[in-house]
Structure 1
Amino acid sequence: MTEVTFYLSSKAGDGVRQALAWRIADKAMKQGRLVYIHCRNEEHARQLDRQFWQAPKTGFLPHAIHHEGQAPVILGHNGDPGEYHDVLINLTDHVPDFASRFQRVAEMISGAEPERQAGRDRFRFYRERGFPVTTHELG
């Protein structure tokens, strides 16, 4: 069964969820896992692609836009993650229809109240459907 983990940060503002996604993707990749980061839309995926090339200056996260290349970390936005079914990092405000195809789902929640409320809704969704759900406070 798919394991769901909510990563919570008290920080709010632009880029908090993306920074969390980078950390979780980097850790998963170093464990030999394949990661699919689900973005809101194509523009969001391309923005994240640019950010991943720029930061952090001390590390590199091999990644590609879905259908444009192959890498351990794929940035996508459509309804089909392809062969990636290992780790899903969700950066949208809804549960993707394909979430249960993954071994693990990571939900990034910042301190911004609208994101917290959308996160609560997703938490309830997973819990009501019997997914094992855990949370980690990241500061």
Structure 2
Amino acid sequence: MTQIDFHTHVGDPLDYACRLARKVYAAGQPLLVLAEPALLRVFDARLWTFSALEFIPHCMADDALCAVTPIVLATQAKPALYGRILLNLGTVVASDFAQFTRVLEVVGSGADELAAARDRYRFYREQGYQPNSYKRGD
């Protein structure tokens, strides 16, 4: 069954997501990052700049190198193509989330973000999953 982890009340969700991506990459696991197109562009830029001494290899899903790149940024979940771990930066439940072994949900501290996260959390529970919740507040 898919392990679902909510990281909530995160002060800077994109920085936090970069750190999660770095951790997954360091563990040698492929990662799919899911979000809306505008947010993906911002996250792409952040991955290039958040750590001056590290490179985190990543590309967009439409890039010719996505099959050999450990971190893929996409607007749709395609677990067969992009690995077993999903980092959801979007506001809705990812389609095919159950085909991933792990789903990471990063949630800021804004009222709208928290409300959308509560809806996703409720959805997962209704589907029989027991999401973990980690209140960060950083």
So what's the TM-score if we normalise by structure 1?
A: 0.87
Sequence identity percentage:
28
1:76 aligned to which of 49, 74, 77: 74
Partner of 2:112: 114
RMSD: 1.6
Deviation at 1:81, TM superposition (A): 5.0
Unaligned 5+ runs, structure 1:
none
Deviation at 1:82, TM superposition (A): 4.9
Query: Counterparts of 1:10 and 1:17 in 2: how far apart (Å)?
Result: 6
Specify the SS of the correspondent of 2:81.
coil
| 10 and 76 in structure 1: CA distance in 2 versus 1, 3 angstrom threshold | closer
Equivalent pair of 1:85/1:101 in contact (CA under 8 Å)? no
Partner of 1:2: 2
Specify the SS of the correspondent of 1:119.
helix
2:33 aligned to which of 33, 37, 43: 37
Equivalent pair of 2:18/2:50 in contact (CA under 8 Å)? no
| Superposed CA offset, 1:62-103 (max 9, x none) | 111113023111111135355123110111110011211100
Query: Counterparts of 1:118 and 1:56 in 2: how far apart (Å)?
Result: 29
Partner of 2:100: 102
Equivalent pair of 1:37/1:91 in contact (CA under 8 Å)? yes
**Superposition map of 1:8-27 within 5 A:** 8-11=8-11, 16-27=12-23
| 107 and 8 in structure 1: CA distance in 2 versus 1, 3 angstrom threshold | same
Number of matched pairs:
134
Query: Counterparts of 1:136 and 1:99 in 2: how far apart (Å)?
Result: 20
| Superposed CA offset, 1:2-34 (max 9, x none) | 1100012352xxxx2211211111111111111
